[in-house]
Amino acid sequence: MRRTVATVAATGFLLALGTGVSGAATQTGSPAHEQVVSPRASYSFACTLPQGSYANYSFSDGLTSTRIYYNNHCSSGIYVRVHVGTNSSCWLTPTGKSSAVFEAGVTGITEGC
């Protein structure tokens, strides 16, 4: 019993010093190399026709690009503005379900252009 407690205490002490004991993981690298994953965002805009239908969008920003997924239930394409940092671009989303790739840093999608 005492031996187990001493081993656990010694292991905790060595881990606090930053030494790897029996496969303990240590953190390496600088914050610049850490991967940051942004939360997933979703948007939905009502169609003019058919009434009661929507065009739905979702994305999660990547390191080098952002893929925006859409499912457009409208009877025609719908214009949306994709915001990337302080810039934005107009995008005509065709009917149906697919995706498109934009540069990294997408901050939002708004209806109309």
Its pTM stands at 0.62
67-87 per-position pLDDT tens digit:
999 999 999 999 999 999 889
Q: Is the pLDDT of residue 97 over 60?
A: yes
25-54 per-position pLDDT tens digit:
333 444 444 444 455 789 999 999 999 999
Q: How far apart, in whole angstroms, are the C-alpha atoms of residue 55 and residue 111?
A: 10
Structure tokens at 59: 């994305």
pLDDT of residue 34: 44
DSSP letter at 7 equals H
- Return all residues near 46 (Cβ < 8 A) that are at least 6 apart: 53, 54
Judge contact between 54 and 44, C-beta under 8 A. yes
Write the CA distances from 91 to 22, 80, 113, integer angstroms.
54, 5, 8
pLDDT of residue 70: 96
Q: Where are the domains of the chain?
A: 39-111
What is the helix (H) or strand (E) element at residue 8, kind and residue range?
Answer: helix 2-17
Q: Is the pLDDT of residue 3 over 90?
A: no
